[in-house]
Structure 1
Amino acid sequence: MSMTKTGGRTAPSRRSSIKWILMLGALAALPAITTDMYLPSLPVVAEDLDTTQAAAQFTMSGMLIGAGVGQLVIGPFSDRFGRRLPLLIGISLHVVTSLLCSLTPDIGTLIGLRVCQGFFNAAASVVAIAVIRDRFVGSDAARLLSRLMLVIGVAPLFAPTVGQAIAGVWQWRAVFYALALIGLFLVLIVWRFMPESLPREQRRPGNPHRVAGNYASLLRDRHFMALAVIPGLGLAVIMSYVVGSPFVFQDQYGLSQGQFAVVFAINGAAIVGSAQLNAALVRRAAPIRVLRVAVIVQMGCALILLAIVLTGFGGIVGLVAGLWLVLGTQGMIPANASVLALHNYGHMAGTAAAVIGALQSGVAGLVSPFVGLLGGDSVAMVCVMLAAVSLTLLVLATATPAYRKGGWRERDGMEPGATTTAGETEEREAEQVEAQGPDQRG
C-alpha cells in the first residue's frame, strides 16, 4: 500500500484509503452481520428448539452482553500486544463458535454460545476503531468513521435477506455456517493485507493494576464518559427498532418476510446516507457542531414519529417515513461522539475504544428489551426509541459544554484543519502523559 509521512506518523495515502475503509468497515460490520443475518430465523429457532419467543430473542441480547464484556478485555489487550494479534484470535474464535452454534441441541446452549460469539467478534469492532485513532484524529477521523459507516451499514442491509434465503433452503443452522465462512475470509484478509498500526514502542504494559488504572482514569473523565455513552444510546435506538420491527411489520401490519426485508433495507439506507452526509459536513464544520445540531433534529423527528404511531396518520407509509427520519439522523451522531471521546486518549486508544464499545453493547442490551416488555407493538417500539433519543440530548446538554456559549474550546471541538492526523497531536498527548505521576499514567 502506498503510504505517506504526515505529522511524524505514517498514514495511508489517498489511493490506499479506500482499501482501509473497505477492510476496517468489513471488520467493524462483523457483529452487525452476525446479528442481522440471524434475525429472520428467530421464530423458526423458537419452534425448532421448543422454546419461547422471549428465550429466542435473548440469543440476540446475549450476544450484546458478550460483546460488551469482550470489548473491555480486548481493548487493553490490543494496547499491549498490538492490533493484529487480538484481531486474528478474536475472529478465529468467532469461526469456532459459529460452527458450534450450528450444532446446538437446545436454547440454553445456543444462548451461551451466542454470548461467546459476541465476546470474540468484539475484537473486530474494537480494533477497527483503535486503528483509525492510531492514524487520525479530529475531522479526518470523523470523516473516515463516516465513510466506514457506508460499509458497516450496507452489509447489514442485505444480511436479513441473505440469512432468510440461506435458512429457507438449508434451515437456520446453515446461517451459522455462513457466518463461519465470513469470519474465515476476514482472517485471511487481516493476515494478508492489514499491517500493524501500533508501533512496538507505543505499546503499553498490560498488568492488571495498570489496566485498572487506565479504566479508572477514563471513568473519572466526565466528558469522555458522556460522549462515550452517546453511541450506546444511538445503538439502543437502532436495536429497539431491530428487535421490534419484525413483529410490528409482520404481525401488526401483515407484511411478508420478503416485504419486511425491503422495509428493513429502506430504513437502513437512511443510516448509511446520513453517515455520508456527515462525512461531507465535517469538512466544513467541527464534529461537535454537527453532533449538537443532529441530536436536536433527531429529537424533533422522534416526536413526529410518536405522533404518527399514536394517530395512525399515513398508515404503514407514515410509519416507515417517520422511522426513516429518526434513523437517518442517527448516522451523524455516533461517529462524531466517538471521535470527540477518543481525542485525548491516543496513548490508550484500544482501551478507550473498548469503553465506548462496551457501553454501546451494554446500553443497547439493557434498553432494547423494553420494547417487548411494553407490548411489542409500534407504540412500544417508538416510545423506547424516543426515550433513548431524549437521554442522548439530556447527556449532551448537561454533562458536556456542547450547548454552552464558549464552553467548548476550538481545539476540543476540533475545527476542520485544526488537527488532521494522529501524528500532529502525538507529542501533545505524550507531554500530557509524562506530566502525570506514575499512578495516573498506570
Structure 2
Amino acid sequence: MNRAIPLKMLCVLALISAIAPLSIDMYLPGLPLMADALDTTAASVQLTLTTFMAGLGIGQLIIGPISDGLGRRRILLAATIVTALSGAACAVAPNIEFLIGARLVQGLSGGAAIVLARACIADRARGDDAAKLFSIMMIIGGIAPVVAPLIGGALLGPVGWRGIFWVLAVAGAVMVAGVVLLVPETLPPERRHGGGLKALISNLQYVVRNRHYLGYALAFVFGFGALFAYISASPFVVQNVLGLSPSQFSIVFAVNATGMVTAAMITTRLLGRVGARTLLRFGVCLLLIGGAVLFCTSVVFSSTNTWLILVPLFVAISSIGFIMGNATALAQGEVTNAAGTGSALMGAGQFGLAALVSPLVGIAGEDTAVPMAIAIPTFGVLAAVALVLLTRGKAVAS
C-alpha cells in the first residue's frame, strides 16, 4: 500500500465515499411503508430522494473549494458528524416535511464528506499511485451499491424504515470515529489558498480553464452517466422486458457489479506497467463496444433475447471499473493546487447528471430497453469525444 495513504485510512475514505449509495439504496424498499406511516403520498416520499441527490451535488460544490483554503480534516470531521446526526433526525421524523428537510441536510453533509475523501487522496498521491488508490477505493466502496438493497430489504421487516435510518446514523458515527483516529490533515498550510469569494472564484477559474482536467473530468462524469442509466433502467429491463424474476435480477446485478469491481482490480495490478491514461482509453473503448452492440440488438433489431442484451450490458458496465479511478486520478492530477475544487466539480457533475438520467431512461415506459440502450452508448461517445478533443497533447505514458 502507498505509504502516503495507509490501508486503514483508505478504508475510512472508501466508507465515506460509500455513504451516498448506502443512504439511497438501503431505504428504497421502505418507501411504501414510509408513505403510510407519515400519512402522505408516494410523490412526497420520493421527494426525500430528490432532495438528498440535490444536497449531494450542492454540498460538494460548496465544501470542495472552501477546503482548499481551510484544509480537509476539520471540515471532514464536521461533515461526518452532521451526517450521523441527520441520519438520526430522519429516524425520528414526525412528518414528511421534517423528513424531507433532514434528507437535504444528510445529502449536503454526505456530499461534503465525499468530495473531501477524494481530495485527501489527491493531496497525498500523484499519477499512477493516485490511480491505484482511487481504484482500490472504488473496489471497497463499490460493494456498497450491491449490498445496500439487500441490507435494506433484510432490515425492513425486523426494524422498519426508521431502523434503517438508525443504521445509517451508526454508519455516520463509525465515519466520525474513523476520521478522528485514522485521517490526518492532508493539506498543509503552505499549500492552502486564502479564503473569501475572490479566492473561491480564482480556484474555479484555475480549474475550468484547464482543458486536460475538463477532458478527464467529463470522461468520469459521462462514465458515471452510463452506469446510472443502467442502475435506473435495469430493474425494468431485466424483469419486464427479459422476463426474469426479481431473484434472477439480483443475480444479474451482482454479476455486473462483480465485473466492474474486477476491472478495477485489474487496473490496480496493471498500473506501473501500463499508464492510467492508456487504461482509461481502454475502458472508454469497452464502453463504446458494449454500448454499440446493445444499441444494435435493442434498438436496430428490437431483440429481447436475454443473452444478446445481458452480454453487451456486462461489457459496458465492467468498463466503468477502468474508467472511474483512472479518470479521477488524471483529472485531480491536473489541478493539484485546487484539488478540493476539482473534486467538487466532478462530484457535482456526477450527481447532477444522475438526477437527469433517471427520469430520461424511463421516459418510454417500463416495458422497453430502448432508452437505456440509447443512453449507454451515447455517454460512451461523449466520454470518447471529451478525451480526444480536450486531452490532446498529453504524453501517451501519462
When normalised by structure 2's length, the TM-score is 0.90
Q: Which amino acid aligns with 1:67?
A: L
Pick one of 230, 235, 238 that aligns with 2:227. 238
CA distance in 1, matches of 2:146, 2:181: 27
Give the ranges of 4+ consecutive aligned residues of structure 1 lying more than 6 Å apart after TM superposition: none
CA distance in 1, matches of 2:306, 2:35: 27
Change (3 A) 1:397 1:106: farther
Percent identity over paired residues: 34
Change (3 A) 1:396 1:47: farther
Pick one of 204, 208, 220 that aligns with 2:197. 208
The answer to whether structure 1 residue 341 and structure 2 residue 331 are counterparts is: yes
What residue is the counterpart of 1:22 in the other structure? 11
CA RMSD in angstroms, aligned pairs only: 2.5
| Aligned partners of 2:207 and 2:338 also within 8 Å | no
| Aligned partners of 1:234 and 1:334 also within 8 Å | yes
**Deviation per residue, 1:96-115 (Å, 9 max, x gap):** 22222234455555444333
User: Where in structure 2 are there 5+ consecutive unaligned residues?
Assistant: none
What residue is the counterpart of 2:340 in the other structure? 350
CA distance in 2, matches of 1:378, 1:191: 46
The answer to whether structure 1 residue 182 and structure 2 residue 168 are counterparts is: no
What residue is the counterpart of 1:408 in the other structure? 394
**Deviation per residue, 1:388-410 (Å, 9 max, x gap):** 22221222222331xxxxx3235
Pick one of 60, 65, 70 that aligns with 2:49. 60
CA distance in 2, matches of 1:39, 1:393: 34
**Deviation per residue, 1:346-394 (Å, 9 max, x gap):** 2221121111111111122222321122324422223222322222122
The answer to whether structure 1 residue 388 and structure 2 residue 374 are counterparts is: no
Per-residue deviation at 1:179?
0.8
Pick one of 264, 270, 280 that aligns with 1:275. 264
Per-residue deviation at 1:197?
1.6
CA distance in 2, matches of 1:24, 1:374: 38
CA distance in 1, matches of 2:121, 2:127: 11
Per-residue deviation at 1:24?
1.8
Pick one of 202, 206, 222 that aligns with 2:211. 222
**Deviation per residue, 1:66-110 (Å, 9 max, x gap):** 111111111123222222111111111112222222344555554
* Equivalence map 1:33-44=2 (5 Å): 33-44=22-33
| Aligned partners of 1:27 and 1:125 also within 8 Å | yes
How many pairs are equivalent? 395
Per-residue deviation at 1:317?
4.5
Per-residue deviation at 1:18?
2.5
CA distance in 2, matches of 1:171, 1:256: 25
The answer to whether structure 1 residue 198 and structure 2 residue 194 are counterparts is: no
**Deviation per residue, 1:304-325 (Å, 9 max, x gap):** 1233434565744443333221
SS in 2 for 1:372: coil
Change (3 A) 1:112 1:241: farther
When normalised by structure 1's length, the TM-score is 0.82
| Aligned partners of 1:219 and 1:225 also within 8 Å | yes
What residue is the counterpart of 1:435 in the other structure? none
**Deviation per residue, 1:226-254 (Å, 9 max, x gap):** 32122222222222222223333444455
The answer to whether structure 1 residue 78 and structure 2 residue 64 are counterparts is: no
| Aligned partners of 1:153 and 1:269 also within 8 Å | no
What residue is the counterpart of 1:320 in the other structure? 310
